Amino acid sequence: MWDDRSNADFEIRCGNKKFKIHKRIIRAHSDVLAKACDNRSFEASILDLKAHPYNGNLNNLGDGDDPEIVEEMVHFFYHLELSPKARGMYRCATDEELSGHSLILLARIYVLAEKYFIEALKAKVLHHFSYMMRCPIHPELVEACHIIYKKTVEPAGEHGLRTTVAKALARDWSTSKKSGEHDKLLQEIPELAFRVLKELPDSPCRHGYCFGEGHVAVLRTAAPGPSW
């Protein structure tokens, strides 16, 4: 069907990009987009999404849609896989190879998938993000975490990107705690610091001590309930 999109019965537009797409493909992946599709007459089979490119600005996420990420969504609808650009070279042998892949792009795709309730796309992003987090000091980790913790939600009991990041940092804590970037990140995002703490069952914090002087205040203000 990907090669037959010229005959598709619907079109999604975002900024200067136009994507021919079959209605049945939309219905198979997103009830939200399907309703928007079904609310249009046969003569007006076009969904115009407000374009709001990211351009490195967190405030640009969520209000509109980034044409680049809409294109990633359409690619997934037909291939059930991320684009080569988003997934990178999956079988990476070294941290250097992993660090060449974009956590920021994956986080942005996740924001859109969450917005339109595309659960299969969320799961695919989680899979690749977890793999790339094998590199504990990824150059895009800080910005990706700010996107994840400011622009996504994670209901109790759900394992989303917030939990994925916290588990990865806790797993590689011996490496992470030596990084000034990680120290700054945990201070800037109290919820992440608290989640990392929860993933460290033998952490000294549970016995009245803390990761470092900077983290003490963060964790004490972020943690609900128990005293430290």
> Which pLDDT tens digit goes with each residue over 55-66?
999 988 877 899
Same domain, 161 and 201: no
How far apart are the C-alpha atoms of 22 and 8, rounded to whole Å? 5
In the listed set 171, 186, 215, which residue is the last one of a domain according to the structure? Answer: 171
pLDDT at 204: 56
**pLDDT per position as a tens digit, 133-174:** 877 678 888 999 999 999 999 988 889 999 999 998 888 777
Q: Which residue has the tokens 């809409």?
A: 70
Same domain, 179 and 228: yes
Same domain, 128 and 167: yes
Give the CATH number of the domain where residue 104 resides.
3.30.710.10
pTM for the complete prediction? Answer: 0.83
Same domain, 145 and 95: yes
The packing angle between helices 141-151 and 180-188, to 10°, is 10
Structural domain containing residue 104: 2-171
Same domain, 112 and 43: yes
Residue 83: C-alpha distances to residues 69, 87, 113, 124, 164 (Å): 11, 6, 15, 11, 21
Residue 197: C-alpha distances to residues 155, 159, 163, 181 (Å): 19, 16, 12, 17
Tell me the pLDDT of the chain averaged across its residues: 81
Q: Decide if pLDDT at 175 tops 80.
A: no
Same domain, 117 and 186: no
